[in-house]
A and B are shown apart, each in its own frame.
Chain A
Amino acid sequence: MLLHLAVARTLYNGDTIFYAVSFILLMWIVKVLAWKPVTKMMQDRSDKISDDIDNAEKSRKDAAAMAEERKAALAGSRVEAQTIVKDAKENGQQQREQIVTQAQTDAQSLKDKAQKDIAQEREDALASARNDVADLSVEIASKLLQRELKADDQKALIDSYIEGLGEQHES
């Protein structure tokens, strides 16, 4: 019995099989529980990171392009704004000149017209006054003629009349 124990103690060969089997079993359990899902997750993560890096690179390029575009647009709009302001100034200037010219022309024509009217008016007034004077003088003459005429008076009258005629003629 003692010998049997001693022999057994030197080599418990069953343990070898036990450990081999349990190791293989453990390997299988680890594979199912941990190895497969964790490795898959690690792979997914590294894929995602690499994707993210690519995307970040792409976004950076896009952003740079957009910034460039915006810069160009800004420069364009500045030029445009300058043109607009310049145009507006020119337009304004032109319009002002036009308005002033127009006003001057208008004023001139109004003035001319007014002068013409005034002259006409004066002419008319003179003409009518002359007519009135003629009528009046005829009337006065007729009234005077109806009175008794003395020789001197008659003479003076004729003189004055003749004088008046001369003046009338002159004017």
Chain B
Amino acid sequence: MGNGTVATFQLFGLTFSVANLVSGAIVFLLAVIFVFATTRHITMRPSKGQNVIEWLMDFTNGVLKGNLPANEVRGYGLWGFTLFIFIFLSNQLGLFFNLMINGKAIVRSPTSDPVVTMTLSMMTVIFANYSSIRRWGTKGYLTSFVKPLWFFFPINIFEELSSFLTLGLRIFGIIYSGEVLLEMIWQLAESHGIFTMALSLPIEMIWQGFSAFLGAIQAYVFIMLSSVYVGRKLQEE
């Protein structure tokens, strides 16, 4: 099972999980290969690969444009684009490539692990707060927590926390449940020989397709909410 046991090891007093390191490295490599392959021959008249990456850039820029102040969009394009391809590939990886050795997961969707999704949402929160400091200065940033009135301070703090949690847990829940269900369909297929194999094959395919769709949607939702979050930090209250 993809999220059953995970092999871990200790290094520099930190704990690492093998599955996340391998999967993360694969996602990283896939992302690099994607951007490398699609940008070999950049021309005025875009060819196949260039069309794909330009469409993606336009897409993520469009998402950011809707949520950030118009003059700030330029500076956040790269962040939105990288976040999107990283999360998209993370969501899809486990659907098509799930590897276990001795019952321990080696390759799976990194986003089916809460540690990874919380890392991503934490990065968004930190990035949003950093953007706020850069935009308003330290004083402006600190006073934004007591707006509109001083007793809103706990509510504002709680809002940060809830953003952090919802952003990370939403994507984790959906990707994790997707993989769990795939796993269960596989168990069904294995249970009674050829008959259940034949029965569960179309179910598996349908669910895989649906999960691929969900994975894409979740990647979109993640950058959408992240940009909303950053945008709110950048806007005048």
Contact = CB atoms under 8 A, between A and B. Distances in A.
B86 A23 contact: yes
Interface in A21-49: 22-23, 25-27, 29-31, 33-35, 37-39, 41-42, 44-45, 48
B53 A12 contact: no
Interface SS of chain B: helix
A18 B54 contact: no
A18 B8 CA distance: 14
A14 interface: yes
Given A9-B6, A23-B86, A31 B44 contact: no
Contacts of A165: none
Nearest to A40: B42
Contacts of B28: 22, 25-26
B78 interface: yes
B82 A15 contact: no
A41 B50 CA distance: 10
Contact of A44 (B6, B44, B78): B44
Interface residues of B, number: 45
B81 interface: yes
A20 B120 CA distance: 8
A8 B86 contact: no
Interface in B4-48: 5-6, 8, 10-12, 14-17, 20-21, 24-25, 28, 31-32, 35-36, 38-39, 42-44
A46 to B, nearest CB: 11
Interface in A138-163: none
Nearest to A15: B20
B93 to A, nearest CB: 14
B100 interface: no
Contacts of B6: 9, 12
Contacts of A22: 24-25, 28
Contact of A11 (B10, B43, B115): B115
Contacts of B59: none
A19 B119 contact: yes
B42 A37 contact: yes
B228 interface: no
A18 B78 contact: no
B54 A42 contact: yes
B42 A38 contact: yes
A3 interface: no
Interface in B36-76: 36, 38-39, 42-44, 50, 53-54, 57
Nearest to B113: A15
Contact of B116 (A9, A15, A33): A15
B115 A29 contact: no
Q: Closest 9 interchain pairs by CB?
A: A14-B14, A14-B16, A34-B35, A12-B15, A12-B17, A27-B82, A15-B20, A16-B119, A19-B119
27 contacts: A8-B15, A14-B11, A15-B16, A15-B21, A15-B113, A15-B115, A16-B118, A17-B14, A18-B21, A19-B24, A22-B24, A23-B82, A23-B83, A26-B31, A27-B79, A30-B35, A30-B78, A34-B38, A34-B53, A35-B81, A37-B42, A38-B42, A38-B57, A39-B57, A39-B77, A41-B42, A45-B44
Interface of B: 5-6, 8, 10-12, 14-17, 20-21, 24-25, 28, 31-32, 35-36, 38-39, 42-44, 50, 53-54, 57, 77-79, 81-83, 85-86, 110, 113, 115-116, 118-120, 122-123
Given A14-B12, A34-B53, 13 more contacts: A8-B8, A8-B15, A14-B16, A15-B21, A17-B14, A19-B116, A27-B78, A27-B82, A30-B78, A31-B78, A34-B38, A35-B81, A45-B44
